[in-house]
Structure 1
Amino acid sequence: MRDPVTAITGITYDRESIEQWLFTNKSTTCPVSKQPLARDSDLTPNHTLRRLIQAWCTQNASLGIVRIPTPKPPLNKIQVLKLLRDLNNPKSLVQLELLASENERNKRCLLEAGVPRAILIFIVNCYRKGQIQKGLQEALSILQLLKIPKEEWTLLVKDNDQTLDSLTWILGNEKMENSIAVKSHAVVLLKRIINKGDTCHVRERLKPEFFETMVKIMRHGVTQQGTSAALHVLLSASSSTRNRMMMMEAGVVHELVEIELGAPEKRITELTLAILFHLCCCANGRAKFLSHEGSIAVVTERILKVSAAVDDRAVFILAMVAKFSGTNAVLQEMLKVGSMAKLCMVLQADRAKYLKDKAMEILKEHTGVWSDSPCFHHTSFYNYVQY
């Protein structure tokens, strides 16, 4: 123990451990006695035990034992409010970020003092002034570190109606220090807002320039976490017909195919194909998809190589393309890149019945075109379609 504290049940714990139990794990019982232990219970410093621990450390210093430092007094609301009054001073934001990263107790105190609202106002003011102020990176980091409840996110975004515009402006700004770090923080924050805020309210406020900015983020790259967050944002947005139209105009389809051609990790592929599935549900989306020379090939290649989720999305994308946009040229392209062969392999693989049925549906529907191909033995092909 480094900072022993006694709970109301009379059991002594290390402060960091019991606070993690209460706040991170969201437990409501004493780990030892199993008695109810509210998260707002007082934890009383056990000075006697701490002095004994320090004395033991001193006695064993020759064995390499380092004496534990005297614990800092708990952060209080007055200290936080003092820092918030001087928020335009970058040092205040640095101090708040350090406090937020130290422990769960500090995060809770920062939330109770209204730090999220103050930080969001600071970010919106930067946007209104058109100035990238020092401390912006720390401000975005603080909002990531704090575990803001869903209800509070909803209120924050509704009360600050320029939140999305502000984050879009940050993502599109090329003239700032630590550009990659700042943009990564901003896009992860966007993901959190969409996931935890009023999703419908947020989705209906997105503008064309938002999607144009997201395309730039995917094209020029941020951190891996930032790319994943950007795809999460687009996936959530793609459930709206209104947003799908703007995404297609912004060039999202082309960029998603380009990402896949780079052979990304499993989770990125799952996200890109999920978005492509939504966009290929409409004619314009399929047209954009087919306008990229590598689209059918890369989707076909992913089947049976990544995950069951990817197989699902890939087969359904091919199904929509073949059924609604299946010109002779498109069907010949599918044959050329091995789509037919992969669909036959799906029939043999350990996959769900509905997916095999969908693969069979594609094969049967285009038998007239594909059965004449010298690429496959006719008998084998007819065995598949009659399976």
Structure 2
Amino acid sequence: MERSVPAPVEVPKFFVCPISLEIMRDPVTLSSGITYDRDSIERWVFNGGHGDCPVTKLPLGASGLEPTPNHTLRRLIQAWCAAQAVERFPTQRPPVDAYRVAAIVDEANRGGQQELLASLRELADIVGESDRNRRCVEGAPGAVEFLVSVVKKHAAGTAKLLVGSQAEMYGVLDSPKASSPEEAALSILHSVKLSEESLKRVLDGSDDFLDTLASVLRWPSYRSRTYGIHLLKAALSAMTPSRLSSASTELVEAVVRVVTDRTLSPKAIKVALHVLCRLCPWGRNRIKAVEAGAVAALVELLLNEGYGGSNGRGGKRTCELTAVAMDHLCGCAEGRLELVEHPAGLAVVARAATRLSPTGTESAVRTLHAVARHSATPAVLQEMLAVGVVARLLYLVQAGVDGERPRERAREMLKMHARVWRGSPCLASHLESYPC
């Protein structure tokens, strides 16, 4: 005897989220009067960047972005699930609000070291729970400033640990759970992903915030250095050119140190290259970077195919950023001198000129053009011929590249030094039309 298949349960329409088309676990109502599941509407508003109600298309406004929990509908859904023998959804925890965050901060400020660590761990749990909580912590009055103050207060003391037992500190600070207040606060700041508005407020209220980040980049913990370089990248994007021009030597040196740090992930190295490219155009920053050893560090990255593998997309992108940074550094005489004095400098830049994207190619050709135009001693010209730079320039002219400017620069370099290079067997027939 065949057993009858139970008919599917029909879910009431008003139990279904208009976005996900599934039963709402945590129903919330917008100012437009439409109810959605909290996760779905928060992804629509905050992750998707929409400022209107998906159903009515009415603008929500600033006050309408925080939905109101629909407790009545939640109880109805729970009762219906019980009546239909459908698995009930667990009751959602009440969402964290700014008052709770402020209370945690106040408790941390009034207590001792243990209370401070406990408060920071609670904040870390809150931030890690949802994007809504992350925005709540960022928007709570004084919360971001409190976290910054913890990092600043302990930054100098942590940096001094470098002179102590390195092995012991690596074991303590790189444990899965942050064991120090400064590392816990830094981790939270990184997780919050501060908006440009928050970063500007921090920078305006703390003149030494960048110096603090420079200190963070020297901490023993590789996690802290990773968090620090990400925060620095975000902070620089919120700064004016005048403030970028006044970057300290210590900050630039710390960034170059990260570029050379092979204990960090390729992603962190790439972020450090972004920071270097952001700093170099302003003031004397590129000279400071050259003096800190940036040219040799960039040559090493190009030799290693971007420290991520030549086959990986990340490695290619790192090489492109390296080429852009090298272009910036060779805009000054000090940078060009360091490049031509490096045994592999000219060769590796020329190789990059024929292997990267149009942006990377243009930056590499610009670097070679700066050397050929401003630093072309007889020894340098002979080296360019010997290590294959001239042959690659000819390849760019003949095979062509995406964009006319690199080709024109390559052609200009060949014409510029045709008298010196015309004796090369591989180039003699191609240089007949160039004035000598």
TM-score under structure 2 normalisation?
0.80
> Which secondary structure state, in structure 1, belongs to the residue aligned with residue 424 of structure 2?
coil
Distance 2:415 2:84 in 1: 79
Distance 1:202 1:350 in 2: 34
- The match for 1:45 is 69
- The match for 1:215 is 256
- The match for 1:191 is 233
- The match for 2:336 is 286
Alignment partner of 1:17 is 2:40? yes
Equivalent residue runs for 1:256-335 within 5 Å: 256-264=298-306, 265-335=315-385
Alignment partner of 1:4 is 2:27? yes
Distance 1:367 1:280 in 2: 23
Distance 1:199 1:60 in 2: 64
Alignment partner of 1:144 is 2:190? yes
- The match for 2:409 is 358
Distance 2:185 2:305 in 1: 34
> Which secondary structure state, in structure 1, belongs to the residue aligned with residue 281 of structure 2?
coil
Give the superposition deviation at 1:187: 1.0
The amino acid of 1:45's aligned partner reads: P
Alignment partner of 1:180 is 2:226? no
- The match for 2:287 is 245
> Which secondary structure state, in structure 1, belongs to the residue aligned with residue 337 of structure 2?
helix
- Kept in 2, the 8 Å contact 1:180–1:223? The answer is no
Alignment partner of 1:30 is 2:76? no
TM-score under structure 1 normalisation?
0.89
- The match for 1:120 is 148
- The match for 2:176 is none
Distance 1:202 1:325 in 2: 28
Kindly tell me the number of residue pairs found equivalent between the two proteins: 376
Cα displacement string for residues 273-306 of structure 1 (whole angstroms, at most 9, x for unaligned residues): 1111111112111101112111111111112312
- Kept in 2, the 8 Å contact 1:188–1:225? The answer is no
- Kept in 1, the 8 Å contact 2:216–2:225? The answer is yes
Percent identity between the aligned chains? 35
- The match for 2:203 is 157
Given candidates 70, 81, 104, the residue that maps to 1:83 is 104
The amino acid of 1:218's aligned partner reads: V
Cα displacement string for residues 259-286 of structure 1 (whole angstroms, at most 9, x for unaligned residues): 1111111221122111111111121111
Alignment partner of 1:73 is 2:94? yes
- Kept in 2, the 8 Å contact 1:154–1:198? The answer is no
Cα displacement string for residues 287-337 of structure 1 (whole angstroms, at most 9, x for unaligned residues): 011121111111111123120001101111111111211122212222222
Give the superposition deviation at 1:52: 4.7
The amino acid of 1:366's aligned partner reads: H
The amino acid of 2:103's aligned partner reads: K
Distance 1:194 1:286 in 2: 26
Distance 1:66 1:382 in 2: 84
Query: Structure 1 unaligned runs (5+)?
Result: none
Cα displacement string for residues 158-184 of structure 1 (whole angstroms, at most 9, x for unaligned residues): 32122122222222233xxxx111110
- Kept in 1, the 8 Å contact 2:155–2:182? The answer is no
- Kept in 2, the 8 Å contact 1:257–1:294? The answer is yes
> Which secondary structure state, in structure 2, belongs to the residue aligned with residue 86 of structure 1?
helix
- The match for 2:428 is 378
Larger radius of gyration, structure 1 or 2? 2
User: Which moves more between the two structures, 38-47 or 3-12?
Assistant: 38-47
Q: Which consecutive segments of 4 or more residues in structure 1 shift more than 4 A? A: 55-61, 128-133
Of structures 1 and 2, the one with the larger relative CO (CA 8 A, separation 6+) is 1
- Kept in 2, the 8 Å contact 1:57–1:67? The answer is yes
- Kept in 1, the 8 Å contact 2:150–2:181? The answer is no
